């Protein structure tokens, strides 16, 4: 048994690919935990960042700077009465949030946080991700239909139309990125998520900069489509508060509602991961070509520790600025403790053995975090599209551009071959 566990450690494959069930289980647990923490952190960050964009403070009462607010909210949701409308279709109503959450979490099976840091590596990774993540639309339609109420029904209709139509543009953008992976000596591309990042490493360029501006346009299409796919502002019509109160989850409350919430945020992380993997070099560190050599490698590997130390410094700074009233003593101590914990993590991350293993995950998470910030930023600045305009953007703008980029990418990619066969046969 111990031998079985140990045998994986020297492997340079993902646990799934190596067929080691124990480590696969450990990875699944870690991903699940990490994702839950990320959703909680994202909840707090969204409220704080949005609040600061809107000249207000956001949560300040539960814990220092509202740090415990998401936990308090989660507790509240768990304790709330679980209401099911009398006229609802019970089984479907019960299934819908489960399906949405399952789809959102299953996607992470193939997300590569590093060359070996993924649960498994599938040769159809991208296809799997797109397929599974689009399953969540089923849950949304089920939720809207089973609620047996007008507003959720309209929300579900909008949502299904929106997700289906943006998936087309999204797919075209993905294909053009996948096509770029085939530009090697063998001329064979790959759909494996790890393979795509390795192709970017081998070609020495992130696909966003490849065939400038083709890669950039494809990335842009994906970036727009992924916001629509996750039903976030400015494409948040299915849950447009001012029109449909809460859209498809109007009739949901308590734990079931929190499942939708969890699914929405993990879906945001999931599609951002696809974007990062396909265009932004996945786990690769920035400037791998210009800033080379062991010194730069060392500098970049120090980043995770430095980030945590900076966060700790922010905590300590806020601790000093806390009101000096006895009522704030617990909060002040708590914040200092949180800072100390962050600093400790930062210090551990400087240990060479940890440093090397964590660096990939760090860069991947940072790139995803950038997308998360964009999501919040969009929400703070954009009004909401109307349904017909949304469809227009999807079908009349993104889809033709996506097709054009696909054809152009193929042409540019095959240019040497075309030259050889047509002009110099």
Partner 1 sequence: MTDPKTLSPLDLDTPEKPFLDANELVINMGPQHPATHGVLRVILRLDGERVLGLECVIGYLHRGVEKIAENRTYTMFNPYVDRMDYVAAVSNGLGYCEAVEKLLSVEAPPRAQYIRVILTELNRMASHQLWLGTHALDIGAITPLFYTFRDREEILKIFEKYCGARLTTHAFRIGGLQYEAYDGFEKDVKNFVSFVTPKIDEYEELLTTNRIWLERTKGVGVISGKDCIALGVTGPVLRASGVKWDLRKAQPYANYKNFDFEIPTGKNGDTYDRYLVRMVEMRQSLRIIQQAVDGIPEGPIMAKVPKVVKPPVGEIYHSIEAPKGELGYFIVSDGSTQPYRLRVRPPSFVNLQALDVMCRGAMVADVVAVIGTLDIVLGEVDR
Q: Is 80 left (phi over 0), alpha (psi -120 to 50) or beta?
A: beta
- Report the alpha-carbon distance of residue 421 to residue 425 in Å, rounded: 5
Q: For residue 280, what are its two tokens? A: 């932004």
Nearer to partner 1, 43 or 319 (CB): 43
Residues 221-280 that bind partner 1 (CB under 8 A): 233-234, 236-237, 240-245
- Only one of the segments 36-44, 154-162, 207-215, 271-279 lies at the binding site for partner 1 (rule: CB under 8 A); that segment is 154-162
Q: For residue 343, what are its two tokens? A: 């600093």
Q: Judged by CB under 8 A, which of 389, 411, 419, 420 binds partner 1? A: 389
- Report the alpha-carbon distance of residue 206 to residue 189 in Å, rounded: 15
Q: How far is CA 368 from CA 17, 319, 416, in A?
A: 24, 29, 35
Nearer to partner 1, 12 or 388 (CB): 388
**Residue 47 touches partner 1, criterion: CB under 8 A:** no
What minimum distance in Å lies between the beta carbon of 388 and partner 1? 6
Q: What residues contact residue 366 under an 8 Å CB cut-off, 6+ apart?
A: 307
Q: Is 331 exposed, middle or buried (0-12, 13-18, 19+ CB in 10 A)?
A: buried
**Residue 184 touches partner 1, criterion: CB under 8 A:** no
What minimum distance in Å lies between the beta carbon of 175 and partner 1? 28
Neighbours of 356 (CB within 10 A): 11
Q: Judged by CB under 8 A, which of 209, 296, 387, 395 binds partner 1? A: 387
Please give the helix or strand (H or E) that residue 369 lies within, else none: helix 352-381
Nearer to partner 1, 166 or 385 (CB): 385
What minimum distance in Å lies between the beta carbon of 228 and partner 1? 13
- Only one of the segments 151-159, 300-308, 335-343, 406-414 lies at the binding site for partner 1 (rule: CB under 8 A); that segment is 151-159
- CB-based contact 373:50 (threshold 8 Å): no
- Only one of the segments 10-18, 51-59, 173-181, 332-340 lies at the binding site for partner 1 (rule: CB under 8 A); that segment is 51-59
Nearer to partner 1, 234 or 254 (CB): 234
**Residue 380 touches partner 1, criterion: CB under 8 A:** yes
Nearest to 118 by CA among 284, 361, 356, 368: 361
Convert residues 325-364 into a mask of x (bound to partner 1 by CB under 8 A) and - (unbound): ----------------------------------------
Q: How far is CA 299 from CA 281, 292, 304, 310, 364, in A?
A: 19, 11, 10, 16, 17
Neighbours of 187 (CB within 10 A): 10
Q: Judged by CB under 8 A, which of 62, 68, 102, 151 binds partner 1? A: 151
What minimum distance in Å lies between the beta carbon of 90 and partner 1? 24
What minimum distance in Å lies between the beta carbon of 159 and partner 1? 13
**Residue 85 touches partner 1, criterion: CB under 8 A:** no
- Only one of the segments 52-60, 99-107, 248-256, 312-320 lies at the binding site for partner 1 (rule: CB under 8 A); that segment is 52-60
Nearer to partner 1, 76 or 150 (CB): 150
- Only one of the segments 70-78, 147-155, 213-221, 253-261 lies at the binding site for partner 1 (rule: CB under 8 A); that segment is 147-155
Question: How many residues line the site for partner 1 (CB under 8 A)?
Answer: 31
What minimum distance in Å lies between the beta carbon of 414 and partner 1? 36
- Report the alpha-carbon distance of residue 113 to residue 273 in Å, rounded: 9
- Report the alpha-carbon distance of residue 218 to residue 173 in Å, rounded: 5
Nearest to 275 by CA among 174, 179, 376: 174
- Report the alpha-carbon distance of residue 423 to residue 285 in Å, rounded: 40
- Report the alpha-carbon distance of residue 292 to residue 221 in Å, rounded: 32
Terminal alpha carbon distance of the chain: 61
Q: Judged by CB under 8 A, which of 4, 373, 382, 415 binds partner 1? A: 382
Which residues of this chain interact with partner 1, rule CB under 8 A?
50, 53-56, 150-151, 154, 157-158, 233-234, 236-237, 240-245, 379-389
């Amino acid at each position: 048994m111990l031998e079985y566990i140990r045998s994986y450690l020297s492997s340079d494959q993902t646990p799934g690919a190596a067929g080691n069930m124990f480590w696969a289980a450990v990875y699944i647990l870690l991903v699940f935990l990490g994702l839950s923490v990320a959703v909680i952190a994202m909840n707090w960050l969204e409220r704080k960042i949005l609040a600061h964009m809107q000249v207000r403070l956001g949560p300040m009462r539960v814990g220092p700077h509202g740090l415990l607010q998401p936990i308090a909210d989660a507790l509240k949701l768990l304790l709330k009465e679980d209401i099911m409308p009398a006229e609802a279709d019970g089984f479907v109503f019960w299934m819908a949030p489960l399906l949405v959450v399952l789809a959102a979490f299953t996607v992470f099976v193939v997300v590569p946080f590093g060359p070996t840091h993924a649960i498994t590596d599938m040769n159809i990774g991208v296809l799997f991700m797109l397929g599974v993540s689009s399953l969540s639309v089923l849950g949304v339609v089920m939720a809207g239909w089973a609620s047996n109420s007008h507003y959720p029904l309209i929300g579900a209709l909008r949502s299904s139309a929106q997700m289906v139509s943006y998936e087309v543009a999204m797919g075209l953008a993905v294909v053009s990125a996948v096509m770029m992976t085939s530009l090697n000596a063998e001329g064979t591309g790959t759909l494996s998520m790890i393979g795509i990042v390795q192709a970017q490493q081998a070609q020495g360029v992130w696909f966003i900069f490849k065939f400038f501006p083709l890669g950039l346009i494809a990335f842009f299409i994906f970036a727009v489509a992924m916001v629509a796919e996750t039903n976030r502002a400015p494409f948040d019509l299915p849950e447009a508060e001012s029109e449909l109160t809460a859209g498809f989850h109007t009739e949901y409350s308590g734990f079931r509602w929190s499942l939708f919430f969890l699914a929405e945020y993990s879906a945001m992380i999931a599609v951002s991961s696809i974007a990062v993997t396909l265009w932004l070099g996945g786990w690769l560190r920035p400037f791998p070509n210009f800033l080379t050599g062991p010194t730069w490698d060392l500098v970049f590997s120090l980043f995770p520790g430095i980030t945590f130390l900076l966060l700790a410094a922010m905590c300590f700074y806020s601790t000093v600025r806390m009101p000096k009233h006895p009522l704030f003593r617990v909060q002040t101590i708590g914040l200092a403790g949180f800072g100390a914990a962050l600093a400790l993590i930062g210090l551990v991350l400087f240990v060479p053995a940890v440093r090397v293993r964590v660096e990939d995950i760090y860069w991947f998470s940072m790139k995803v975090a950038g997308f998360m910030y964009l999501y919040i930023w969009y929400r703070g600045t954009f009004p909401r599209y109307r349904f017909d305009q949304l469809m227009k953007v999807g079908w009349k703008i993104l889809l033709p551009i996506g097709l054009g980029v696909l054809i152009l990418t193929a042409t540019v990619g095959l240019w040497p071959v075309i030259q050889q066969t047509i002009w110099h046969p």
